[in-house]
Amino acid sequence: MTKSNDQSRSGGSSRRQVLATGLGAAGMGAASTLLPTRRAWAGAEKKLKIGFISPRTGPLAGFGEADPFVLDLARKSLAKGLTIGGDTYEVVFLDRDTQSDPTRASQLAKDLINGAKIDMMLTTSTPEVVNPVADACEAAGMPCLSTIEPWESWYFGRGAKPGQPCPFKWSYHFCFGVEQFAQTYLSSWNGDVKTNRKVAALAPNDADGNAVRQHLFPILRKAGFDVIDPGGYEDGATDFSAQIAHFKREKCEILTTFPIPPDFTRFWRQAAQQGLTRQMKIVEVAKTGLFPSQIEVLGPLGYRIAAAAYWHPVFPYASPVSGLTSAQLATAYEHQSGHQWQQQLGASMSLIDAGIAALKASGMPTNKVALAASMGKLKTTTTVGVVDFTTGPVPHVATTILIGAQWIKSKPGSKYKLDYNTIENIEDRKVPVQAKLLPYRMA
């Protein structure tokens, strides 16, 4: 982020002012990351153990990059305990790294449930993490709250059937879905960048790819876009020559894709070598290209790639747990880590926000039946916006927003190589639009 952007997203406050002024208990937590950690909790009568499972290493590591910061912030913010129903509880987070391995994710969940005897599970970031953890919790009768996986991949990918009763009792999920992708994409693609409306669709043969193939592509076609889908490929594929040749023959000018990050890097470099990138006017990615590190590795090929944002520092929402606004959260992260903010920062904070809200609403946080019931009735505002399980679209699911955004090369003298500007806000008019969508091939 440039200095000017850093100031604007903080409502005009400088980084030093954000860290020094009154941010409440959570702001002190963020600022105290600069000081030796000290256990401030005292006087709690009981303990709540919360599992937190995400990918810190492996192909999905970008999603877990900010989790240590978020967890440290939550621990400091809750250091004096959590009062529920007249009792004060010490809150203990037990976080685990799946190493991007679904089998390991399942085993970690079982270990936390059966060995650590946790009271609630939180999990985030892609079906490869969330689904096996949620399945383990469902089998064990453990309340589980999750996010950052399109809800269709979570719901239908775990065996639920359209029009049939929900098969889940213990697991709940909040995230964007196909409708949010469609709204955001159509808002962007029908804008100032004119195309032939032919869409190269690269979707793998996995939970995300199959969900968008079944649910998203028909919506795009109905809206007047010619979606060219050569069929699913296997995660970890190394040669995309056939798909590239297909898209070139069809003269596609828009790309939409949902790969794991290493697959997109391989695909897009091959696309450049074989001439596909030169005919593209809009490049829209999901699951990859969400974080600065995933775009920087592409060099100039990453400039002007669009990737919808599920959180951004300009979001007008604050964390109830930390007390930080979205702008302050980004600033505190950059100050401590030395790295550019990334959108999973807000999503992981929102998971903790919603989890703590569910614990409070239960009245009996160690009663698993009461806790699961409170999740089903939960309506609360988090760092990513409102999470409301009372409105569907299906039982055990709440939807959140997506905002169109695009990566551009930062101006000379900027601290970071890239800026990530919001380009549309059809899903939430409260989110500011920072720039217009720029055509990819002019980059």
Q: What is the pLDDT of residues 336-380, one digit of tens each?
A: 999 999 999 999 999 999 999 999 999 999 999 999 999 999 999
DSSP element (H, E) containing 138 = helix 127-140
CA–CA distance from 142 to each of 68, 92, 127, 172, 176 (Å)? 24, 17, 19, 11, 24
Cα 224 to chain center, whole Å? 29
280/231 same-domain check: yes
Q: What CATH number corresponds to the domain at position 416?
A: 3.40.50.2300
273/393 same-domain check: no
Question: Which pLDDT does position 42 carry in this prediction?
Answer: 47
Query: How much helix, strand and coil, in percent to the nearest 5, is found in the chain?
Result: 40, 15, 40
Domain span at 240: 179-309+403-442
Strand 87-97 to strand 46-54: parallel, antiparallel, or no bridges (unpaired)? parallel
Stretches where the chain sits below pLDDT 70 are: 1-45, 442-443
30/146 same-domain check: yes
The two tokens of residue 381 are 């505002």
Q: List, in sequence order, the alpha helices (H) in 320-409.
A: 326-337, 344-362, 368-376
The two tokens of residue 374 are 């409170």
355/381 same-domain check: yes
Interval 401-419: pLDDT, tens: 999 999 999 999 999 999 9
Question: Which pLDDT does position 45 carry in this prediction?
Answer: 62
Question: How many structural domains does the chain have?
Answer: 2
270/163 same-domain check: no
Question: Which pLDDT does position 441 carry in this prediction?
Answer: 73
Strand 379-382 to strand 385-388: parallel, antiparallel, or no bridges (unpaired)? antiparallel
- Cβ atoms < 10 Å from Cβ of 249: 9
Residues 6+ apart with CB under 8 A from 429: none
Gap between the Cα atoms of 357 and 381, Å rounded: 9
79/198 same-domain check: no
336/376 same-domain check: yes
185/321 same-domain check: no
DSSP element (H, E) containing 76 = helix 67-77
162/209 same-domain check: no
Beta bridge mates, 166? none
Residue recorded with tokens 């941010």: 23
Question: Which pLDDT does position 207 carry in this prediction?
Answer: 87
- Residue at 337: amino acid letter: S
234/362 same-domain check: no
Gap between the Cα atoms of 32 and 29, Å rounded: 5
pTM above 0.75, yes or no: yes
7/111 same-domain check: yes
Gap between the Cα atoms of 290 and 434, Å rounded: 17
Please check whether residue 279 is in contact with residue 248, taking contact to mean a CB–CB distance below 8 angstroms: yes
258/386 same-domain check: no
Interval 234-271: pLDDT, tens: 999 999 999 999 999 999 999 999 999 999 999 999 99
